[in-house]
Amino acid sequence: MKIAARDVAGLLKAPATRYSAYLLYGPDQGLVRERARQLSDYFCDQPDDPFAQTSLIGAQLAEDKARLSDEAMAVNVFGGLRVVTVNGIGSEMTAAVKLAFAKPNPDARIIIRASDVNTRHALVKLCDETEFCASIGCYSDDQRNLQQIAKEVFAKDNISAPSEVMSAILTRLGSDRQVSLSELNKLALYAGPGGVLSLEDVADTLGDSGAVAVDEVSLALLGGDVSAFERDYARLRHEGIQPIAVLRQLLSLFKGMQAAKARMQTGQSAAQAIAQLRPPVHFKMKPVITRQLGPWREAQIADAIERVMQAEIQTKSAASADPSTLTGQILLGICLRARQLNTRR
């Protein structure tokens, strides 16, 4: 049964007895791992007991399709639930999962992690259509989710983060839940119980070089400075900054410009519209973005948003292409268009 996003948190906190199997899949594999661990810990407090819990990988199920069913039907000699966790790509597990579902064991819980499936995949469809299986998609955190997660982490040690500090933290968190939690815990350790985080603390703890490098690429791209874009993007690649991080920051930038344009339609100045954006624009970026709201029209901004979103999709699906090269080519196209916009002024 497909679980709606709004119901996932409640289900993970107190799994319903009607579910004896769980599928966890989606682009945020950090979140997949976290939720699988949360379920495993709920059902079994003895992870090292082979009679209570066992772990399989997809390759084992590909070789022996009955293995999952056999493990799920095994008896926990000390009583209690038997937990079977499976980690695989997806396709190699489908037949074994289908066989196990044909004869479910009410005294077992099957937890499946799939790393390369989508909502149209046969494994996902099977789990969506099975009443006793909870099918849970794990998608990247948005700003609202990340802020809530940060508040929960800080609340454990009564740590405070003013609004501008929280905004700075959110701009440095990525799309992987485990990485984000690691960064937040690092901040909490730095602040200490009852501490108050500052912007300097965030820069010192999480670093600022990556964000600055992407900002420089963004400035060159907006202004249509092809030479600066090629130089800054090459440096960004050399520093090992992932293409997805660049695309996410640029997407946020263009969506902010789109929102600012909409406010300008109500009579606000460019500076007023930029000042109201949340999370706030970095002070070094404000004057440049304010100027660029002139040459960049709504249609061009919308086109840039579409191109950046398509770039993210392509970097995830085009296995034969180097994501950094592909991202650079698409962004260069946006930069060339921006050069035309800026020369018309």
Give the pLDDT confidence score for residue 293 in this predicted structure: 86
- The predicted model gives 250-265 an average pLDDT of 88
Work out the pLDDT band at 197, boundaries 50, 70, 90: very high
- pTM value is 0.53
Pairing of strands 133-137, 82-88: unpaired
Give the pLDDT confidence score for residue 97 in this predicted structure: 97
Give the pLDDT confidence score for residue 212 in this predicted structure: 61
The whole-angstrom separation of Cα 140 and Cα 180 is 11
The pLDDT tens digits of the residues spanning 274-294 come to 888 876 776 667 888 888 888
- The predicted model gives 309-313 an average pLDDT of 83
Residues 13 and 63 in one domain: yes
Work out the pLDDT band at 71, boundaries 50, 70, 90: very high
Write down which residue in 206, 221, 256 finishes a domain. Answer: 206
- The predicted model gives 335-339 an average pLDDT of 90
Residues 31 and 112 in one domain: yes
Give the pLDDT confidence score for residue 86 in this predicted structure: 95
- The predicted model gives 46-51 an average pLDDT of 66
| Nearest partner of 86 among 76, 72, 105, judged by Cα | 72
Does position 195 have pLDDT exceeding 60, yes or no?
yes
Residues 195 and 215 in one domain: no
The pLDDT tens digits of the residues spanning 148-189 come to 889 999 999 999 999 888 877 886 776 667 778 888 998 999
Does position 318 have pLDDT exceeding 60, yes or no?
no
Show the domain range for 324. Answer: 209-343
Contacts 24+ apart (CB under 8 A), 198-205: 198/165, 199/164, 199/165, 199/168, 201/165, 202/165, 202/168, 202/169, 202/172, 203/168
Residues 198 and 289 in one domain: no
Does position 201 have pLDDT exceeding 60, yes or no?
yes
The pLDDT tens digits of the residues spanning 107-141 come to 999 999 998 888 889 999 999 999 999 999 988 66
Residues 231 and 188 in one domain: no
- Cβ atoms of 109 and 82 closer than 8 Å: yes
What is the chain's mean pLDDT, rounded? 85
Query: In this structure, what token pair is assigned to residue 162?
Result: 């003013």
Residues 114 and 31 in one domain: yes
Residue 305 belongs to a domain with what CATH number? 1.20.272.10
Residues 131 and 197 in one domain: no
Give the pLDDT confidence score for residue 95 in this predicted structure: 96
Work out the pLDDT band at 143, boundaries 50, 70, 90: low
- The predicted model gives 83-102 an average pLDDT of 95
Give the pLDDT confidence score for residue 36 in this predicted structure: 94
Residues 337 and 290 in one domain: yes
Structure-token match 């930069």, residue found: 335
- The predicted model gives 264-280 an average pLDDT of 83
Give the pLDDT confidence score for residue 17 in this predicted structure: 92
Work out the pLDDT band at 241, boundaries 50, 70, 90: confident
Does position 317 have pLDDT exceeding 90, yes or no?
no
Does position 3 have pLDDT exceeding 60, yes or no?
yes
Q: How many CA atoms lie within 13 A of 292 on its CB side?
A: 25
Write down which residue in 116, 137, 158 finishes a domain. Answer: 137
Residue 53 belongs to a domain with what CATH number? 3.40.50.300
Write down which residue in 206, 237, 257 finishes a domain. Answer: 206
Residues 57 and 148 in one domain: no
Residues 28 and 151 in one domain: no
Give the pLDDT confidence score for residue 115 in this predicted structure: 87
Residues 327 and 247 in one domain: yes
Does position 302 have pLDDT exceeding 60, yes or no?
yes
Work out the pLDDT band at 321, boundaries 50, 70, 90: low
Stretch (H or E) spanning 328: helix 323-343
Give the pLDDT confidence score for residue 189 in this predicted structure: 92
Q: Cβ neighbours of residue 48 under 8 Å, at least 6 residues apart?
A: none
Give the pLDDT confidence score for residue 15 in this predicted structure: 94
Number of structural domains the chain divides into: 3
Percent of the chain, pLDDT > 90? 37
At residue 11, the 3 state secondary structure works out as helix
Query: In this structure, what token pair is assigned to residue 124?
Result: 């996902």
DSSP states of 190-231: HH-TT-B--HHHHHHHH-SHHHHHHHHHHHHHHHT-HHHHHH
Give the pLDDT confidence score for residue 49 in this predicted structure: 66
